[in-house]
Amino acid sequence: MNKVFAVGQFDLDIALRDAGVEEMNRPSRRSLANASIGVEAFDAYHSARELFETLEALHEGERGAKRKLTQVLSCGCDDYQRCLYYTLAGRGVLQMLDDLEWLLDLLKARCEISASLFRAGSLPQVQVNPYVSAEPDGPVPARGSDFEQGASWFLDPALGGHIDE
């Protein structure tokens, strides 16, 4: 006999909440997960993906990648992408990309669940957006793309570099 149970609305942030406290995750990954809680599913995914693709292009030396990164970081939108970037800044380019790719996997699954719920005519649990304003809170980086990349881009130990202190 099949029984139907009322389970209430699905919490889209449950995987992020779990990842944010999982001790086996690197601190940077826990920070990324916690920073994404409450951010609308599709906005979070596309924002993280844009940042990942920009950092990947910069790592690969693609033309215009520095300009794209300055556009992302100086955008007049909320601070979510800047939060993700500065959570990872200075940790080495490979860890930055690895951690963002890990986050993208979580965010993609979250989008798929959200889409499935909407297609089924169900609504997920209400998310409380952590950003109180759609504008940046405070100064944003300058738009100049003529910046020097720091040691984490070239002396990353994962790339075989050696950082002397």
Distance, in Å, from the CA atom of 128 to the CA atom of 59, rounded to the nearest integer, reads 34
Local confidence band at 12 (pLDDT 50, 70, 90 cut-offs):
confident
Do residues 140 and 73 lie in contact, with contact meaning Cβ atoms separated by under 8 Å? yes
17 in helix, strand or coil?
Answer: helix
Tell if the pTM clears 0.85, that is, is over it: no
Under a CB-based contact definition with an 8 Å cutoff, are residues 30 and 22 in contact? yes
> What is the rounded CA–CA span in Å between residue 137 and residue 160?
38
Q: How confident is the model at residue 34 (pLDDT cuts 50, 70, 90)?
A: very high
Angle value at C-alpha 17, between 135 and 54, nearest 5 degrees: 50
pLDDT at residue 16 greater than cutoff 90? yes
Whole-number Cα distances in Å, 18 to 7, 59, 70, 95:
19, 30, 32, 21
Mean pLDDT within 33-54: 95
Select from 131, 113, 115 the least CA-distant residue to 11.
113
* Interatomic CA distance for residues 122 and 93, integer angstroms: 40
Element of type H or E holding 34: helix 27-36
CA angle 102, 153, 83 (to 5 degrees): 50
Pick the residue with more confidence: 55 or 90?
Answer: 55
For residue 104, give both structure tokens.
């993208």
Dihedral class, residue 75 (left if φ above 0, else alpha if ψ from -120 to 50, else beta): beta
Segments making up each domain of the chain, as ranges: 14-120
Say whether 41 sits in a helix, a strand or coil: helix
Closest CA relative to residue 35, chosen from 99, 120, 113: 99
Mean pLDDT confidence for 123-139 = 69
What average pLDDT does the segment 80-102 reach? 94
